[in-house]
Structure 1
């Protein structure tokens, strides 16, 4: 009888130990799953550092400068609506997660500012007098839907399908990839418009400069994060598009800095 009692006691202790071990494994599994989910839901380039902050502020300042230029000068000469239509496509497709994911107040506010201000710029130039009458459509002729949006959509779809396949298809991921490709060339219509004028108005030149500085600072942000964050995930497509976007500004940067150093008005090589 004593042996039977001891046996049952050992069995009960063994079952209790197994149950506790199972609970511990379950808790650990849940913890790991939550960590993995948090990492997956962490927005790309969300880690804040001085380079990212300065890049965001440069981008924000470029928008403020352009809105100020429209308000003060009351004309849209030298401004490309088509570039801003491309940027609006970039922001809308990239920030769709604004409606179902929350990362931080800073993140959400910046997304809303980018979308709202770009839409406001387009509306002001296309529909608000007297600015509307000063917008020169004959200079803003880049076929952006055909030569920017369509190719970027095709490339984004192709690269997404190659990387993920049908089983891994993710519409949000696809739209994000599309926005990365499109942003790389969205400034092209604006640069073409500027080169069709002999001189560039001061505030317009400042606007373009800060737009270019924003992306250059983001490249420094990626370099900094790659060297300081453990397990930092590299996005080679993002790197390529960021460098391409910055290179498009290189010629403008040269003439802008040259003009500022000499105290002259900004002049670009004129094209027809």
Structure 2
């Protein structure tokens, strides 16, 4: 057990010392390896979707614990939560029309918890909300996703409007974490609960990306349908890969700074000058 921990520590230390380009290359290789692994071990794509929802829900539960335990919403982005509500609401509308299954029930549960988080930030813990730091304009995300959905959407037998809405909510899901990243950037520091939430979103986005890429193997009726689906999946994968890379890289950097600050607070000099 100790030998395994030492090996993992040695690997992580080696990776941290590499230049950014090498880290990016390793991240891409690791992502591709994970996709290949999922291709062989996942036979039912519904299970992968459930995993996405489970990880996303875990991140939200971390937020709920933070709000209840610490009685503060400092460092959280209300706009990211509002974008999450928007994408879930649109996807639920599409699910009720296109298909009603366990996906719909999971989305309902996630939407309910997200609405509770919004309620806590807006009303109960409003005094601790950093509104001036949460300055990412929502229309910078919503408008490009809507325009992209108009031109690039899946080719299925459903009504055109439903397909456009479905594409919109998928694109929005891929970038809804951007306001949260802006808050973390503006505050210059991130506490552990927020970092764990963002990391959970990054993992969920990767699994969601893997789900769509793996489903790209499914054959459709016409060659045009296959072509349109491939374009849709390609654009979606780009969105997800960029978001995952930004989230994981940013979260890793912030966590490193947080640990350095924690180490500094334990020194005698810090405690002396701060009257501890």
- Name the TM tier (shorter chain): 0.5 to 0.7
Which residue number in structure 2 is paired with residue 250 of structure 1?
Answer: 248
Q: Is the 8 A contact 2:190 2:254 kept in 1?
A: no
Alignment of 1:16-55 (within 5 A): 47-49=45-47, 51-55=48-52
Q: In the superposition, relative to structure 1, how do residues 185 and 57 fare at CA in structure 2: closer, same or farther (>3 Å)?
A: same
Higher helix share: 2
Structure 1 residue 61 displacement after superposition: 0.3
Counterpart check, 1:151 vs 2:144: yes
Secondary structure of 2:81's counterpart equals helix
Q: Is the 8 A contact 1:183 1:245 kept in 2?
A: no
Which residue number in structure 2 is paired with residue 78 of structure 1?
Answer: 75
Which residue number in structure 1 is paired with residue 60 of structure 2?
Answer: 63
Q: TM-score, normalised by structure 2?
A: 0.65
Structure 1 residue 171 displacement after superposition: 1.2
Unpaired stretches in structure 2, ≥5 consecutive residues? 1-43, 221-228, 264-276
My pick for the range that moved more, 95-104 or 78-87, is 95-104
Q: TM-score, normalised by structure 1?
A: 0.66
Secondary structure of 1:196's counterpart equals helix
Q: Is the 8 A contact 2:77 2:134 kept in 1?
A: yes
Alignment of 1:230-245 (within 5 A): 231=219, 234=230, 235-245=233-243
Counterpart check, 1:220 vs 2:190: no
Which residue number in structure 1 is paired with residue 171 of structure 2?
Answer: 181
Secondary structure of 1:138's counterpart equals coil
CA–CA separation in structure 1 for the residues paired with 2:200 and 2:134 = 21
Q: In the superposition, relative to structure 1, how do residues 169 and 55 fare at CA in structure 2: closer, same or farther (>3 Å)?
A: closer
2:130 corresponds to which of 126, 131, 136: 136
Q: In the superposition, relative to structure 1, how do residues 218 and 159 fare at CA in structure 2: closer, same or farther (>3 Å)?
A: closer
Q: Which protein shows a greater Rg?
A: 1
Structure 1 residue 64 displacement after superposition: 0.6
Q: What is the aligned length?
A: 209
Q: Is the 8 A contact 2:94 2:166 kept in 1?
A: no
CA–CA separation in structure 2 for the residues paired with 1:243 and 1:198 = 24
Which residue number in structure 1 is paired with residue 16 of structure 2?
Answer: none
Q: Is the 8 A contact 2:94 2:165 kept in 1?
A: no
Q: Is the 8 A contact 1:140 1:189 kept in 2?
A: yes
Q: In the superposition, relative to structure 1, how do residues 216 and 253 fare at CA in structure 2: closer, same or farther (>3 Å)?
A: farther
Counterpart check, 1:123 vs 2:119: yes
Q: Is the 8 A contact 1:202 1:265 kept in 2?
A: no
CA–CA separation in structure 1 for the residues paired with 2:87 and 2:200 = 18
Structure 1 residue 263 displacement after superposition: 8.1
Unpaired stretches in structure 1, ≥5 consecutive residues? 1-45, 267-272
Q: In the superposition, relative to structure 1, how do residues 91 and 114 fare at CA in structure 2: closer, same or farther (>3 Å)?
A: same
